[in-house]
Every structure is written in C-alpha cells, then in structure tokens.
A and B are shown apart, each in its own frame.
Chain A
Amino acid sequence: MKVMRAREWAFPIAPVRREVRRATPELDEGRPPVLFVPGFGHGAWVFAEHWLEHTADRGFPAYAVSLRGHGDSAKAPKATLRAYAHDVAQVAASLPRRAVIVGHGAGALVTAHALARYPARAAVLLSPVFGGAGTALRNPMLSLPALFGGGLRLPAGQLFSRELPSNASRGYAARLGRASTRAQWQLLRGRTPQPPVGDPPVLVVGSPDDRIVSDTALRRVARGYGGAPLLFPGMGHDLMLDTRWREPIDAILDWLEKSA
C-alpha cells in the first residue's frame, strides 16, 4: 500500500465534464450501485444499449461513465491512465453507497488502477486488457498504428461474434472513438496496478473466443486476483453488445447478490 503520493498531490488531475448515464430501479431495495466503465474507444453508450436497464430491472442502481475524451465527456487528448482512473474514482465516490465497479477491456485496467484509490464493494473485470507487449503482439495489426500515435484499430470483426447481424456490428463500430495517445502508450507499457484498497472480491469474466484478449491473458489476470475466470464461449470481446448479452450480465449480478 502506497502512502506517499507526492506526484499525485503535486499534480492533481484537472477536472472535466463527465458523461454519466444511469438507470435506477423503481424501488430502492438497498442493493449496491453498479458503475460500468467502458474500454478504450468505447463510451457509456455501450452499456446503455442493454446492460444498464437490465441491471436496474434486477434491482441494482446502474451507472455508466464515459472516460474523458470518450462518448459525451469533454475532450482530453492528453489524458493519462491516472486521469481515467480519477474519472472512475470520482463517479464511484459520488454515488450514495459504496459501489461495485465493472470495467471492460482496457477499462478493466483503468478500474484496477481506480481500485487502488477507492475501496469498491466488489469489482468485475470484463475481457480485461491489462496491456503489455503480449497484448500488442497478439493484435499487431490493431496496435501498430498506436505505436505511431494513431488510434487503436477496433474493427467490428474483432469485437463481436458472428452471431451479431453485420449491420448492427458495423453501426456499433462506427460509433467507436479513441483513447489518448499517451494512455495507449501506457497501456502498451502495461504497468501493474497497485493492489486494491479495502480488499474487494474481484470476478474476471471473458470469452475463450475473444479475438483481442487471449485465454492465457485472461487466466493470468484472474490468477492475479486469486481466482479463475468465468467464461462465455462463443462470444466476442464486447460482451455487452453481443446477441447473447443477457447471459454474462445475469451471471455477474448473480455473483454480486452472493458476494457483495
């Protein structure tokens, strides 16, 4: 646990306008709020599509934040991973109760960084992209432009399973943006996040057929948090937009009911 944070104290993150989408249950049953964190290039809308309403229907207040520079949040071309993690901790701390954080893709890495600065009730890492050379080597064509300051290429074929109708997948792919160049570099560098505070239970969810995150990478992340991943074969990287979106979210909420 790191107590001295002189750099963070001397250079606080500049505040920006953040997009937070929400869906709250009709009856507050005292369940913990769930905060969804989209990955690089994705905005809060990816969760607003299906998962937010579904989570609220199951009685959990649901929120999704767009990291700075994504979705309808303010532009942030020089954002760092720390700035993204700050966005997550800010939204989590503003919720009425201790929140559960669900991060997707590189947003799972952002979540892992945020967990070191906010004692979440529980955390779920969906298809986590924890970066490092391995991620880049597995996806050379996607990460090559990023090495030269371009965006990560995220074609529809890589993100969704074949079950999703092609017009839907093309529509989603067209809405994707990009993370800042600095954050992409930091992702490639793959610095290990500090351990989480408050010892939250962590669940890792993914698909063996994910074309961005390899099975070994998934297992390595899960092992880091002392568990095995929960797998949904046949699904693509973007679990929350795929045709079978209902299965993973139901499994996650069942797990939450049990452990949080």
Chain B
Amino acid sequence: MTYSAGYGDPESGGPATAWRDGWPVYDRSGTVCVIGAGPSGLTAMKNLKEHGFGVDCYERDTSVGGAWNWRHDRSPVYASTHLISSKPFSQFPDFPMPDSWPDYPKHTQVLEYLEHYADHFDLKPHIWFGTEVVKVEPAEGERWDVTTRSTGGYGGERIHRYAAVVIANGHNWSPKRPEYEGLEDFKGEVIHAAQFKDAAQLRNKKVLVIGAGNTGCDIAVEAAQQAARCWHSTRRGYWYTPKYTLGRPADQVNDLMLWLKLPLRARQFLAHRTLKSTVGDLTRFGLPQPDHKIYETHTIVNSQLVYYLGHGAVSPVGDVARFHRNSVELKGGEVIEPDLVVLATGYHPSFDFIDGNLLGVDASGRPRLAMHAFPKRQPTLAVAGLLQPDSGLFPLVHWQMVAFARMLRVREAAPAKAVAVQRRLEAELDRRWTTAKVKDSTRHWFEISHTTYLKAIQRLLDELGLEGAK
C-alpha cells in the first residue's frame, strides 16, 4: 500500500492537506486500521495482510495479547485461568497450538501462543504500542478518520484517514456491577472478578462469590481450596459440564455428535443422560434445578465445582436480597457474614471512541450488528470477536476477519456484488446464531453456537467467492 503523507490531490488544485477540527488529517490511503492487539486484533491484521492490505494497529498497552496478557491493567486473567474449550476449538484454524501442550492450556500458554503468532506472521512492525484511539469518525467515501494519542494522554493527538476500521478492543474489561440495596454501607471488602488475580486474596477469609458464569465457578473453586468459608450465590440453576466425558474432552464429544449429524434434541438427551450418570442430580447439593436444557446457553465447564460441593467446601446459596453493615441477606431470608464479596457478574462491551449510532447501539448499550460483527450501512467497519461462543473464540474471529478482508476486496473488484452481500447481511440483522432458545439477558447478548455461526460464515465466504476461494 502506498503511503501518501497527507497531501491532497494536486490536480484538483485544492488545499494540500485535509483538515478536521483544525487538525491535519494524514491520509493512509488503502490501509486498514485495527484497534487493539489482542487475539482478535492480531488475527484481523494477519488476515488483512494476507489479502494484501496495509495495516496499522493501535494498542493502548505495550505488548500484544490483550485480555490474555496478565501484565495489562485491563486484563481479567487470574493466576489459575485455563481455557475451557480444548485445543482443536481454541486455536486459530491455520496455526495449531503445539502438540506438547495439554488439552486445556493455561493462560500463560495462550499468551505465549499469541506472542508467537504475532512474531510468526511478522505483525509487530505494524503495531503502534502505547497508543490509544480517542475517536473514530466517518469521512467522505466511506473512509474513517482515526484520532490517536499516546496512552495516558501525553503528547498531542494525531488524525489518520483509513480505508476501513476493525474494532477489536475486547469486551471483557469494563466490569458490570449489579446494584444492591445497602452495598455502599457494607463494611466488608467488595471486589469485582476483574480485580481477582490470585488465590492468596481469598486465603482464610469468609468469601461470598456472586455469579454462576465460568469465572464465578472458577473463583468459587479457588475459595473452596483457600478460603475459610465459601458461599456461591447463583440466581438460576445451570448445567455444569465436566471438562472430560467418555474419555475425551467434553467439547470433542459434542462435536462428535454434531459430526454424526444428531439433532439438538438427541444431543440434549444424550448429554443429560451422561451428566446424570456421572455427577448426578445437583439439586441434592442444594442447587436450583436448571430451568433450561443443556446447550441452550453456553455451558459452564467446570469439573471441580461439583467435586467441592460434594466436599461441602462450597455452600450454594440463592440470590442476594440486600447488604447490611456487617452481613448479607439472601432472598430466602438467610443471613450470612462474609468478609469478602467477589462480584463475578461479567463485563459490558464498551466503545467509547465511536458514536454509538454507527454501531446501532440501543438504549441498553447493546450494539446491533449483522453476525455480531458488521454494522448496518457501514461496509468498511467491523467489530471483531464480540461473541460469546459455546466453544473457543479464536477460530470464530479468524473467520470473521477472513470474511471482512474478502468483503473489502470484493468491494473493489465487484462493487455491485458487495452491496448485494451487505444487503443480505443487513436483512439478517437480528438473527440469533444459536440452535436453542437463549435467555435475553445482557449475559447472553452475544451468545452463539459455533456450528450455526460457522455455517453462516461458510455461506458468506462462498457468496463472496473471489476466484474459487483461492
């Protein structure tokens, strides 16, 4: 890609430089801007490069890895974080994780993998580390003006104009804190799971963990091992899938059933039977009965929680009613006295640098995107990795970005076709990419089933074609 350093078209005799709000705009021509150098940003860069685009990536931290880099202040990773999908579902489809790694790698290995990915595909020279994106604004010709400055606000701002923008700023860094009556008067310590880094924080404390997501369950298990007492508050009943069933990683069993083309009901039946014959009925530990069938929401993969329930090291309790000065009152009227409350209540997506209307963000803060990636009427803008899959995320983002890179290429080669594809995507704006019914809570906004989603991607790639998908 050519770099034209901000000089306007000399033939038109117009001004030498484009301006926006009194600042010069440097034209980066056909280059694509990628925001964030986490897994989504890295695979966006790699696939855009592979399709012949120049890329500039802005990363507010000083290294790659995004959420998976525990050194980053916004990383939600804690010392014991492991993947909950096994390797075949967790690796980029064209860059296998080493054979010597375990089925479920640890977060440090995931970071090592991402660093190796960045080096292997020579991505680091394209990354501006320590630079954050302040603003992304539309410019003429469906291009984008991106305002950047060094992280922390030192130095001046700079505006570059790009042909397209990929937003890959992650969605697991802005903590979601529920409102509870009396929470501000509570004298014990209250932290969000984002601040939980190490099991030592729990040692010899009486801990209440709120939230039944994968993080909540992990922390409850840590508390069972380290804390003096552990209560685990869940609002509803869930299915706890072990990491291994029938002698292999559980997600591989699921895909074995998919490969055999078993319908959802049959898979649910088999999964219920398998769980019943291993962990059994969880209501005997005092857990609520799940109000949905398995595979209807993305599963909680945790073998150890049930084990510690069986040891009595985790006491399951219901929803929290209100906080008192020294105690917590539960919905059932029971009162417990924890020293430490961990809110494992998830994260909000946050796009503070772009006008929400461009992403179709509604009043509740939820962006309305085709396939959770492509905003309406913005063919040169994409959001990468805003998914909550029932398997690993990396392969899904990889294919999202292959599709986006191809879409940009088709826009140049066959604009009419690109418009047709874009129309078709917009027509499916509100489609859910799951086979089962999903609860409509913020936790399940971006819920997808990897098979449904990948089939849609396959269709999109086939539509875009590009000389027999060479």
Q: Are B93 and A4 touching (Cβ within 8 A)?
A: no
Q: Is the interface of A mostly helix, strand, loop or mixed?
A: loop
Q: Are B469 and A96 touching (Cβ within 8 A)?
A: no
Residue B87 at the A interface, CB < 8 A? yes
Additional A-B contacts beyond A4-B455, A89-B96, A117-B94 (12; CB < 8 A): A1-B402, A1-B461, A3-B93, A3-B461, A5-B93, A6-B451, A9-B251, A9-B259, A15-B100, A97-B122, A118-B95, A198-B94
27 contacts between A and B (CB under 8 A): A3-B399, A3-B454, A3-B455, A3-B458, A4-B451, A4-B455, A4-B458, A6-B256, A9-B255, A9-B259, A10-B253, A10-B258, A12-B87, A15-B99, A90-B99, A93-B95, A93-B96, A93-B120, A94-B98, A96-B119, A117-B94, A118-B96, A119-B50, A195-B469, A195-B470, A199-B50, A199-B470
The answer for the CA separation of A94 and B391 in the assembled complex, in Å, is 24
Residue A29 at the B interface, CB < 8 A? no
The answer for the CA separation of A1 and B403 in the assembled complex, in Å, is 11
Residue of B nearest to A13 (CB): B99
Residue of A nearest to B249 (CB): A12
Which B residues touch A196, using CB under 8 A?
Answer: 470
Residue A86 at the B interface, CB < 8 A? yes
Q: Are B88 and A9 touching (Cβ within 8 A)?
A: yes
Given A12-B87, A15-B100, answer yes or no on A98-B255 (Cβ-Cβ < 8 Å): no
Which B residues touch A9, using CB under 8 A?
Answer: 88-89, 251-252, 255, 259
Residue B457 at the A interface, CB < 8 A? yes
Residue B468 at the A interface, CB < 8 A? yes
The answer for the CA separation of A133 and B119 in the assembled complex, in Å, is 42
Residue A8 at the B interface, CB < 8 A? yes
Residue A95 at the B interface, CB < 8 A? yes
Which B residues touch A12, using CB under 8 A?
Answer: 86-88, 252
The digit string for A67-107, where 1 denotes a CB below 8 A from any CB of B, is 00000000000000000001001100111111000000000
Residue A137 at the B interface, CB < 8 A? no
Which B residues touch A168, using CB under 8 A?
Answer: none
Total CB contacts across the A-B interface at under 8 A:
80
Say which residue of A4, A8, A119 sits within 8 Å of B88 (CB atoms).
A8
Residue A197 at the B interface, CB < 8 A? yes
A-contacting residues, B77-102, CB 8 Å: 86-89, 93-96, 98-100
Residue B269 at the A interface, CB < 8 A? no
Q: Are B99 and A98 touching (Cβ within 8 A)?
A: no
Which B residues touch A7, using CB under 8 A?
Answer: 259
Q: A12, A90, A117, A118: which has the most chain B beta carbons within 10 Å?
A: A12
Count residues of chain B with CB under 8 A from any CB of chain A: 34
B167 to chain A, nearest CB (A): 23
Given A12-B87, A90-B98, answer yes or no on A6-B258 (Cβ-Cβ < 8 Å): yes
Q: Are B120 and A198 touching (Cβ within 8 A)?
A: no
Q: Are B94 and A118 touching (Cβ within 8 A)?
A: yes
Residue B307 at the A interface, CB < 8 A? no
Q: Are B458 and A86 touching (Cβ within 8 A)?
A: no
The answer for the CA separation of A12 and B85 in the assembled complex, in Å, is 13
A-contacting residues, B49-81, CB 8 Å: 50
Residue B121 at the A interface, CB < 8 A? yes
Which B residues touch A117, using CB under 8 A?
Answer: 93-94, 96
A88 to chain B, nearest CB (A): 10
Q: A3, A11, A16: which has the most chain B beta carbons within 10 Å?
A: A3
Which A residues touch B458, using CB under 8 A?
Answer: 2-4
B-contacting residues, A183-225, CB 8 Å: 195-199
User: Lowest 3 CB-CB distances: which A-B pairs, in order?
Assistant: A15-B99, A10-B256, A6-B259
B-contacting residues, A1-41, CB 8 Å: 1-12, 15-16
Q: Are A10 and B259 touching (Cβ within 8 A)?
A: yes
Which B residues touch A5, using CB under 8 A?
Answer: 93
Which A residues touch B96, using CB under 8 A?
Answer: 86, 89-90, 93, 117-118
The answer for the CA separation of A96 and B87 in the assembled complex, in Å, is 21
Given A117-B94, A197-B94, answer yes or no on A3-B457 (Cβ-Cβ < 8 Å): yes
Which B residues touch A199, using CB under 8 A?
Answer: 50, 470
A14 to chain B, nearest CB (A): 9
Given A3-B399, A97-B119, answer yes or no on A198-B50 (Cβ-Cβ < 8 Å): yes
The answer for the CA separation of A5 and B461 in the assembled complex, in Å, is 15
The answer for the CA separation of A98 and B122 in the assembled complex, in Å, is 8
Residue of B nearest to A97 (CB): B120
A-contacting residues, B231-260, CB 8 Å: 251-253, 255-256, 258-259
A-contacting residues, B436-470, CB 8 Å: 451, 454-455, 457-458, 461, 468-470
B-contacting residues, A133-162, CB 8 Å: none
Residue of B nearest to A120 (CB): B94
The answer for the CA separation of A90 and B457 in the assembled complex, in Å, is 26
The answer for the CA separation of A199 and B49 in the assembled complex, in Å, is 12
Residue of B nearest to A117 (CB): B94
A117 to chain B, nearest CB (A): 6
Residue of A nearest to B256 (CB): A10
Q: Are A4 and B98 touching (Cβ within 8 A)?
A: no
Q: A9, A11, A117, A199: which has the most chain B beta carbons within 10 Å?
A: A9
The answer for the CA separation of A4 and B100 in the assembled complex, in Å, is 25
